[in-house]
Amino acid sequence: MPQPDLFAQPAERAAQLRADLARYDHAYYVLDAPLVPDADYDALFQELQRLEAEHPELRTPDSPTQRVGGSPLPAFAPVRHAVPMLSIQTETDTTPQGAVAFDLRVRNKLGLGPDDPPVTYAAELKFDGLAISLRYERGVLVQAATRGDGETGEDVTQNVRTIRSVPLQLRGNPPEVLEIRGEALMKRADFERYNARQRERGLPTLVNPRNGAAGSIRQLDPSIAAQRPLAFYAYGWGEIVGWSDQPDTHHAMLDAFEAFGLPVAPQRVHGAGPQTLIDFHARIAAERDSLPFDIDGVVYKVDSLALQRELGFRNREPIWAVAHKYPAQERSTRVLAIDIQVGRTGKLTPVAKLEPVFVGGVTVTNATLHNEDEVRRKDVRVGDTVIVRRAGDVIPEVVGVILDARPADAGEPFDLYQQLGGRCPVCGGPIERRPGEADWRCVSGLSCPAQLKRTIQHFCSRNVVDIEGFGEEIVSTLVDSGLVESTADIYKLTKEKLIGLSLSGGGSIQDLLASKLLKSIEERRKLPLSKFIFGLGIEGVGEVASKDLAKFYGSLDLFLQSAACVHMLIEGIGVELAVGIDDFIHEKKNLAVINTLCKEIEIIECRPAGVDNFLFNFLSAVKRWDSEISKRNKIKPKLRGVGEKSLRNLAEEFKALDALLIGTSPAQDLAQMQSLLRTDDQCVKAVLFFEKNKYLTHVMGTEHPAISPRLRRILISKFGFSDEQLGAMTEAEGWRIVYHNNATGDRKRKDEKNSLTVCFTGFPEAQKKSLEEYSVTHGLMPKSSVVKNLKFLVTGPNPGPAKLARARELNVPLLTLDQFNNFIETGEIPS
Ligand code: IVH
């Protein structure tokens, strides 16, 4: 250890100490090869702390003493990423074939034939933590941000500074600006240690290392974050400015990062062709359990940055990278009991209580059995030995029973109604299973405490309204005590009411906890409309649908006044969901909760005057529908000539649909629009027809031969369909006849399944084979000859004349390889 230089100036001495400590940190945390004993390190650290205390001007942001310097934040500030943080596609085939498919995709896209040289790839781990972007300016860490929605993340600099392997200052000669992308994670040993300590103190434990990492990074108090040690590994980059000799391959970039002192996992390779990837996949499968942290698979990337640029992106995912997972892990164990849980919407889910078993990195004691039919199909009984599977983050499930191991005293075949005596296990109310549905439900709604608790928990949960502290235990306590009878009651809590409530896990709510809970509530008295809608917990309305609804309506009033047929105008909202939303917001109890909530909180609407926005969205949907139907039936669109600008003008001028319907104006556009909308009933039905045509095509495509009884009921009660009409809709063709008879025209459409065939001609044999395999992975059916209904014939350099002639005869479109690739990407067939 260097001896302290007693005559050095404080500034020089501080700089020396900082440099030494950073070097020791790097050796200890990144290289895993300590240079000095802990006691020496501590002595130097304390010396630096003393110096900085005496001379605060010497305290620099990259000083090792500043790793845990910050005070708790009120909230994280948003950070807009200079380069978006994207995700990657996952290869679902977990066999080596998955790597081959990726190679084929890349080669095809690059236009490489079988005789062209192999592509060089880099392979690395897929870390299972939290994506982080580190921003270094002139080598100093200035900001760390989470991924967020990819465009905007949260500023978590204070917490990331506590990660000891993240250098505060880069070594060597780093570029002017360097954004490092990587993953923060918790090593298994740190996870176990943390949980053991928590258990000792009777405090809550972490479910898995990933939650530990996420919780630590998103902790507002950096001193708490520092108690949960995390690691970081770099795998990519964002913005880079002023790097004159920047490497031109992915692997060389990672090597350069390592030289800058950044942690890069040693499990990485690069090499030519898919065999490199297959070998890496197999090697990591074998090493997986002995890695110090959990992984989520491996990642393959095209090594050359020039080729990466050429390949580009599709659906905001790089074409040049893919994640390759491992098969889900399975273990066998015994079923101790089959419990029935009541979900947020009253759904009764059978859950197997298991003899604890270690699967995929966690100890599993519960596994879902989904629903009654599933239990019966698998014939799971108490006492059985079953196979349990856990993949990634999903809830563990029972795959099947080992029938040979069934004991003589195994339970009876499962019968949910009988087991519950026909009553909800929580509220004792009636249960029902409607025809056509797989689930039994408790029908008591929010008067069932289980449903109420889960609804409140949902409302408070992190990705919804995010009221901190309202987890299972607190919510349970509040509901059981009778203090909270609806979500709105959360906002009426006071310190007096809270203090002294006894907690189910022992103890009672004290002053400190009460203040914390009240503070979290106060912070959420203002909500964006989308969060409010999401928080209501309408079945099937998740984050995406909530955002879409909020955007479409712009204001809560409009949303509440709307109707199912209007919800359906939103892309992605089908009839069942639309009717479900409609039922929910017209239910008296729900409306009462919504009204009370509105008194307690302020909803930030999408636009201050949402009306014009909504009307414009509505009119645009009608316009889309009009042109779609006319095209299909080869008739003139009714709204011909009414463009986006006219729609905007109409929306501006009339502000509401009623006003527009009865309004007068010299504009021709208005007359056209009115003539379409005034045929009120037909308009609504036409919209329904159009939307539902899509819906039914979808449903039927997935092996449901007929309209479900539920949909049937809905169509009768909500839209007045006749039995005759419904009867015709039970078959695909019948549905179309109803559709066309009611609208216009009477043309049939081709059966889509038969039209997904493709044939290749004029390619070298090997390339043809690989193209055929490639087609299969994209849902096409390769044919060896030109048959009727062939979707298209893809022609290579030497197409067979007979095939070409036959294709012309049958009117089969001819595609070049480029056009075919374009079709795979966009679904477009050039005319
Ligand atoms: S590359 C533009 N490489 O997986 C490509 N991502 O779906 C950006 N991840 O949230 C991603 N290990 O945090 C990449 N070696 C690795 C990774 C990795 C884990 C995470 C990443 C992202 C998700 C991508």
Strand 526-528 and strand 602-604: pairing?
Answer: parallel
Q: According to DSSP H, which parts of 461-609 are helical?
A: 472-480, 495-498, 511-522, 529-536, 543-553, 556-561, 564-567, 575-586, 588-600
Q: Which residues have CB under 8 Å from 408's CB, separation 6+?
A: none
Does residue 361 have its Cβ closer than 6 Å to ligand 1?
no
Locate the ligand 1 atom nearest the alpha carbon of residue 299 and give its number: 15
Q: Which residues have CB under 8 Å from 432's CB, separation 6+?
A: 440, 441, 443
User: Three-state SS for 360?
Assistant: coil
Ligand 1: centre distance to CA 324 (Å): 11
What residue's CA is closest to ligand 1, atom 12? Answer: 126
DSSP string for residues in 678-715? HSHHHHHHHHHHHHHHHHHHHHHHTT--S--HHHHHHH
Does residue 319 have its Cβ closer than 6 Å to ligand 1?
no
Predicted confidence at residue 782, as pLDDT, reads 82
User: Three-state SS for 673?
Assistant: helix
User: Three-state SS for 388?
Assistant: strand
Does residue 235 have its Cβ closer than 6 Å to ligand 1?
yes
Ligand 1: centre distance to CA 296 (Å): 10
Locate the ligand 1 atom nearest the alpha carbon of residue 182 and give its number: 13
121, 183, 325: which to mutate for ligand 1, most atoms within 8 A of CB? Answer: 183
Average pLDDT per 10 consecutive residues for the chain, totaling 831 residues: 63 92 91 87 92 90 80 82 91 90 94 93 96 96 92 91 93 96 94 81 76 86 83 97 96 97 97 96 89 92 96 89 88 94 94 89 86 92 92 78 92 94 94 86 91 95 90 92 93 94 85 93 92 93 88 81 72 78 87 92 67 68 73 76 86 72 78 69 45 41 44 59 57 26 25 62 85 71 84 89 90 88 70 65
Distance from C-alpha of 785 to C-alpha of 807, rounded to nearest angstrom = 10
90, 125, 127, 280: which to mutate for ligand 1, most atoms within 8 A of CB? Answer: 127
Does residue 625 have its Cβ closer than 6 Å to ligand 1?
no
What residue's CA is closest to ligand 1, atom 21? Answer: 131
Does residue 183 have its Cβ closer than 6 Å to ligand 1?
yes
Q: How many CB atoms lie within 10 A of CB 88?
A: 16
Ligand 1: centre distance to CA 88 (Å): 6
Locate the ligand 1 atom nearest the alpha carbon of residue 126 and give its number: 12
List the catalytic residues: 126
CB 787 within 8 A of CB 803: no
Q: According to DSSP H, which parts of 55-165 are helical?
A: 97-110, 157-161
What residue's CA is closest to ligand 1, atom 16? Answer: 126
Does residue 86 have its Cβ closer than 6 Å to ligand 1?
yes
**Total count of residues recorded for the chain:** 831
83, 86, 87: which to mutate for ligand 1, most atoms within 8 A of CB? Answer: 87
Q: Which amino acid is at 57?
A: E
What residue's CA is closest to ligand 1, atom 17? Answer: 126
Does residue 448 have its Cβ closer than 6 Å to ligand 1?
no
Does residue 318 have its Cβ closer than 6 Å to ligand 1?
yes
Locate the ligand 1 atom nearest the alpha carbon of residue 89 and give its number: 7
What residue's CA is closest to ligand 1, atom 11? Answer: 87
| Residue pointed to by tokens 């995390």 | 230
Distance from C-alpha of 294 to C-alpha of 185, rounded to nearest angstrom = 9
CA 117 to centroid of chain Cα atoms: 37
Q: What H or E segment, with its residue span, contains residue 675?
A: helix 668-678
Does residue 804 have its Cβ closer than 6 Å to ligand 1?
no
Does residue 127 have its Cβ closer than 6 Å to ligand 1?
yes
Ligand 1: centre distance to CA 126 (Å): 7
Ligand 1: centre distance to CA 128 (Å): 9
257, 299, 322: which to mutate for ligand 1, most atoms within 8 A of CB? Answer: 299
Ligand 1: centre distance to CA 87 (Å): 6
> Which structure tokens are listed for 692?
């539902």
User: Within 13 Å and on the Cβ side, how many CA atoms surround 64?
Assistant: 25
Q: Which amino acid is at 347?
A: K
Let me know if 784 is exposed, middle or buried by CB neighbors in 10 A (0-12, 13-18, 19+). Answer: exposed
Locate the ligand 1 atom nearest the alpha carbon of residue 321 and give its number: 5
Predicted confidence at residue 176, as pLDDT, reads 96
Ligand 1: centre distance to CA 306 (Å): 20
Distance from C-alpha of 378 to C-alpha of 389, rounded to nearest angstrom = 14
What residue's CA is closest to ligand 1, atom 24? Answer: 87
Distance from C-alpha of 808 to C-alpha of 508, rounded to nearest angstrom = 81
User: Within 13 Å and on the Cβ side, how many CA atoms surround 332?
Assistant: 10
Ligand 1: centre distance to CA 85 (Å): 9
126, 179, 324: which to mutate for ligand 1, most atoms within 8 A of CB? Answer: 126
Say what the pTM is. 0.53
Q: Which residues have CB under 8 Å from 286's CB, separation 6+?
A: none
Predicted confidence at residue 826, as pLDDT, reads 63
Q: Which residues have CB under 8 Å from 638's CB, separation 6+?
A: 626, 630, 672, 675, 676
CA-based torsion, 268, 269, 270, 276: positive or negative: negative
